[in-house]
C-alpha cells in the first residue's frame, strides 16, 4: 500500500485539478476507481499468454478465443475489439444516426456517448428505485415504458440494449424473466436486442441466487439462455473476461456483421485480431472459463457484500441490495443539503482520497449531467486483488468521511474546464470554498477541510 500524508494528498489533488482520473496511481493507497482491467490474472491465464500466436491472420489463439466466446454466447459473428467502447463505436456508427432512438435499461457513460456522437438519442428505461429499496432486480428494463416507446417510435429504433449488470444504476442485476419479456417485445417489433454484457457472470450469479426456479441451474446454462434471448452483444472483457484489455462485438445478422467488419478493419484491425495481440486472446479464453466458476462468483459477491454490510453497519448510506462489482455510496443521502450542480458525489470522492488515499468514481451529475438519476460514488472492487484487511481500512476511511459530511465540512465543486463529451474523465474542477459562486453551502464550505494545512 502506498503511504502518503494527508497534506501530500491535498497537494496532489490540487495539482490534478480535483479530477481523480488525473492522479498518479502510485499515490493512491487503495484504488476503487474501476473494476475495469484492474484485476489480477490467474497463473493459467499467464501460461496462456506464453503460447499466444501473433499471426496477422487466422491465428489459432483467435480460434481458441472464438470458441470460448461461442461456448457461452452462441452468435454467428465474433468481432474482436481492444475494449468495450470500440465495439460500441463500431455498432453505433452503423446503427445510430440522427433521429434514431436507442433504448437501454441504463446506458453506461461510454455507451451513451457513442449513441449521442452518432446523432441518436440515448433513452434510459430502468425504473428508478430509492437507493435503500431492496428489490432483487433493480437493473430491470421497465417493460411498460419500453412498450410505450415502441408503440410511438418503433421505426426510429434500430436496436434495443440491455446492460448486465446495470452499472449506472448501482451494479444491479437484470432477471431472466425481464430479459425474456424484453426479448419478446423486441421480436414482436422485429428490432434486434443487444446485451451490454460486461458483467454477465455476476448477473447470472444473481439470477441463480434470487430468481425463483433458478437455484439448481449451472451458471453457464443461465448465461447461454441470456445470450439466446438476444441478437448480439458488446463486451468489455476487462470486467467478466478477467483480463486487463480486450473486448468484442458479437452479432447474428450477416448484413450488419459485414458492415461492422468493414469498420473493424478500418479502425481496430483485421478480423482475427481486432485491436489485440494473440496472447490477449489466450488470456480471455481462459478468463471466460474461470469467471463462470461458482466458487469464484460466490467469493466475489460475498466479499463485495462484506464491504457493503460493514458500511451499512457504520451508518454510511449505500445502494441496496449490494451489487456484484462495487459499492455505491448514496451521496444525496450523505450530503442532503448540497445541490446536485455542486456534484455531491465528487465532493465525497475527493474527501475519500484526502482522508485516506482511496480513489473512487462519481456516478451522478458530474458523469451524466441532467441524465443522472442518483448521486452516487462508486467504489468498484478489482477482481482477485484486495484482502479483507484492505477492505477494513477502506471502511474506516468511509466512516470518517461520513462524519465530516455530517458536520458540514465537505465543499461542493464547480467545473472550470469542460470537454465536449465524457467530461468526467478530463474536466478540471475547483472547490466552491475557493470560488466566487454564492449559494447556501458557501458558509459550510468556508471551513472545508480542503483549506486545512495538514
Ligand X SMILES: Cc1ncc(COP(=O)(O)O)c(C=O)c1O
As measured in angstroms, the least distance from the Cβ of 236 to ligand X is 3
User: Which of 61, 104, 236, 272 touches ligand X by CB under 6 A?
Assistant: 236
Residue closer to ligand X (CB basis): 268 or 449:
268
- DSSP3 helix / strand / coil % (the chain, rounded to 5): 45, 15, 40
> CB of 247 within 8 A of CB of 185?
no
Beta-bridged to residue 328, according to DSSP, are: 378
101 interacts with ligand X by CB under 6 A? no
Residue closer to ligand X (CB basis): 167 or 445:
167
Residue closer to ligand X (CB basis): 193 or 335:
193
- Binding segment (CB under 6 A) for ligand X, from list 54-62, 79-87, 142-150, 349-357: 79-87
As measured in angstroms, the least distance from the Cβ of 160 to ligand X is 15
- Binding segment (CB under 6 A) for ligand X, from list 80-88, 150-158, 222-230, 292-300: 80-88
Residue closer to ligand X (CB basis): 137 or 450:
137
Q: Binding string to ligand X for residues 43 to 72, with x set by CB under 6 A, is what?
A: ------------------------------
Which helix (H) or strand (E) element contains residue 81?
strand 77-81
382 interacts with ligand X by CB under 6 A? no
Distance, in Å, from the CA atom of 317 to the CA atom of 399, rounded to the nearest integer, reads 10
CA atoms within 13 Å, Cβ hemisphere of 451 = 14
Burial label, 272 (beta-carbon count in 10 A; 0-12, 13-18, 19+): buried
105 interacts with ligand X by CB under 6 A? no
Binding positions for ligand X, 246-275, rule CB under 6 A: 247
Beta-bridged to residue 232, according to DSSP, are: 194, 251
- Binding segment (CB under 6 A) for ligand X, from list 82-90, 125-133, 257-265, 403-411: 82-90
As measured in angstroms, the least distance from the Cβ of 159 to ligand X is 15
Residue closer to ligand X (CB basis): 82 or 100:
82
Residue 440: alpha-carbon gap to chain centroid: 33
As measured in angstroms, the least distance from the Cβ of 247 to ligand X is 5
Q: Which residues contact 57 (CB under 8 A, 6 or more apart)?
A: 270, 271, 272, 273
Residue closer to ligand X (CB basis): 96 or 431:
96
365 interacts with ligand X by CB under 6 A? no
Size of the site for ligand X (CB under 6 A): 14
As measured in angstroms, the least distance from the Cβ of 152 to ligand X is 27
> CB of 264 within 8 A of CB of 274?
yes
19 interacts with ligand X by CB under 6 A? no
> CB of 394 within 8 A of CB of 379?
yes
Q: Which residues contact 446 (CB under 8 A, 6 or more apart)?
A: 433
Distance, in Å, from the CA atom of 243 to the CA atom of 237, rounded to the nearest integer, reads 6
As measured in angstroms, the least distance from the Cβ of 81 to ligand X is 9
36 interacts with ligand X by CB under 6 A? yes
Q: Which residues contact 265 (CB under 8 A, 6 or more apart)?
A: 271
Residue 163's closest CA among 193, 130, 133?
Answer: 193
As measured in angstroms, the least distance from the Cβ of 111 to ligand X is 5
Residue with the closest Cβ to ligand X? 84
Residue closer to ligand X (CB basis): 336 or 419:
419
Residue closer to ligand X (CB basis): 85 or 100:
85
Distance, in Å, from the CA atom of 329 to the CA atom of 320, rounded to the nearest integer, reads 10
Residue 73's closest CA among 243, 306, 215, 252?
Answer: 252
Distance, in Å, from the CA atom of 276 to the CA atom of 450, rounded to the nearest integer, reads 43
As measured in angstroms, the least distance from the Cβ of 116 to ligand X is 14
- Binding segment (CB under 6 A) for ligand X, from list 103-111, 148-156, 213-221, 353-361: 103-111
User: Which of 61, 163, 172, 203 touches ligand X by CB under 6 A?
Assistant: 163
Distance, in Å, from the CA atom of 36 to the CA atom of 198, rounded to the nearest integer, reads 9
Residue 293: alpha-carbon gap to chain centroid: 21
84 interacts with ligand X by CB under 6 A? yes
Binding positions for ligand X, 108-127, rule CB under 6 A: 108, 110-111
Helices assigned H by DSSP within 138-218: 143-153, 176-188, 200-210
Which helix (H) or strand (E) element contains residue 30?
strand 30-31
Question: Rounded to whole angstroms, what are the CA distances from 428 to 42, 145, 437?
Answer: 37, 37, 16
Residue closer to ligand X (CB basis): 89 or 346:
89
Binding positions for ligand X, 167-226, rule CB under 6 A: 167, 196, 198
As measured in angstroms, the least distance from the Cβ of 230 to ligand X is 15
238 interacts with ligand X by CB under 6 A? yes
C-alpha cell, 440 = 447556501
Binding site for ligand X (CB under 6 A): 36, 83-85, 108, 110-111, 163, 167, 196, 198, 236, 238, 247
Amino acid at each position: 500500500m502506498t503511504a502518503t500524508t494527508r497534506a501530500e494528498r491535498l497537494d496532489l489533488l490540487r495539482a490534478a485539478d480535483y479530477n481523480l482520473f488525473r492522479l498518479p496511481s502510485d499515490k493512491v493507497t487503495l484504488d476503487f476507481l474501476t473494476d475495469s482491467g484492474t484485476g489480477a490474472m490467474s497463473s493459467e491465464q499467464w501460461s496462456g499468454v506464453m503460447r499466444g500466436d501473433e499471426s496477422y491472420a487466422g491465428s489459432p489463439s483467435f480460434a481458441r478465443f472464438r470458441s470460448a466466446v461461442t461456448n457461452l454466447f452462441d452468435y454467428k459473428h465474433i468481432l474482436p475489439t481492444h475494449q468495450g467502447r470500440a465495439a460500441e463505436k463500431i455498432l453505433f456508427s452503423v446503427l445510430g444516426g440522427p433521429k434514431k432512438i436507442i433504448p437501454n435499461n441504463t446506458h453506461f457513460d461510454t455507451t451513451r456517448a457513442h449513441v449521442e456522437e452518432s446523432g441518436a438519442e440515448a433513452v434510459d428505461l430502468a425504473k428508478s428505485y430509492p437507493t435503500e429499496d431492496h428489490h432483487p432486480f433493480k437493473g430491470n428494463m421497465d417493460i411498460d415504458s419500453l412498450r410505450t416507446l415502441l408503440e410511438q417510435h418503433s421505426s426510429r429504433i434500430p436496436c434495443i440494449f440491455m446492460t448486465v449488470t446495470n452499472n449506472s444504476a448501482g451494479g444491479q442485476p437484470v432477471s431472466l424473466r425481464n430479459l425474456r419479456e424484453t426479448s419478446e417485445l423486441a421480436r414482436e417489433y422485429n428490432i434486434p436486442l443487444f446485451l451490454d454484457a460486461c458483467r454477465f457472470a455476476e448477473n447470472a450469479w444473481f439470477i441463480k441466487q434470487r430468481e425463483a426456479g433458478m437455484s439448481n441451474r449451472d451458471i453457464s446454462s443461465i448465461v447461454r439462455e441470456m445470450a439466446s434471448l438476444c441478437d448480439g452483444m458488446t463486451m468489455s472483457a476487462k470486467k467478466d473476461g478477467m483480463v486487463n484489455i480486450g473486448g468484442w462485438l458479437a452479432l447474428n445478422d450477416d448484413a450488419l456483421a459485414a458492415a461492422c467488419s468493414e469498420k473493424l478493419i478500418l479502425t481496430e484491425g483485421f478480423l482475427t485480431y481486432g485491436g489485440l495481440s494473440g496472447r490477449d486472446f489466450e488470456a480471455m479464453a481462459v478468463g471466460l472459463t474461470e469467471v463462470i466458476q461458482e466458487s469464484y462468483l460466490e467469493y466475489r459477491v460475498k466479499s463485495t457484500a462484506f464491504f457493503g454490510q460493514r458500511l451499512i453497519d457504520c451508518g454510511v448510506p449505500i445502494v441496496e441490495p449490494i451489487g456484484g462489482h462495487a459499492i455505491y455510496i448514496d451521496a444525496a443521502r450523505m450530503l442532503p443539503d448540497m445541490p446536485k450542480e455542486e456534484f455531491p458525489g465528487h465532493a465525497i470522492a475527493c474527501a475519500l482520497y484526502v482522508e485516506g488515499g482511496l480513489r473512487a468514481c462519481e456516478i451522478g451529475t458530474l458523469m451524466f449531467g441532467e441524465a443522472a438519476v442518483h448521486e452516487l460514488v462508486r467504489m468498484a472492487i478489482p477482481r482477485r486483488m484486495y484482502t479483507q484487511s484492505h477492505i477494513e481500512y477502506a471502511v474506516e476511511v468511509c466512516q470518517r468521511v461520513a462524519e465530516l459530511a455530517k458536520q458540514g465540512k465537505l465543499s461542493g465543486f464547480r467545473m472550470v474546464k469542460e470537454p465536449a463529451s465524457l467530461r468526467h474523465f478530463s474536466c478540471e474542477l475547483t472547490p466552491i470554498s475557493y470560488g466566487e459562486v454564492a449559494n447556501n453551502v458557501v458558509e459550510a464550505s468556508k471551513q472545508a477541510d480542503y483549506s486545512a494545512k495538514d
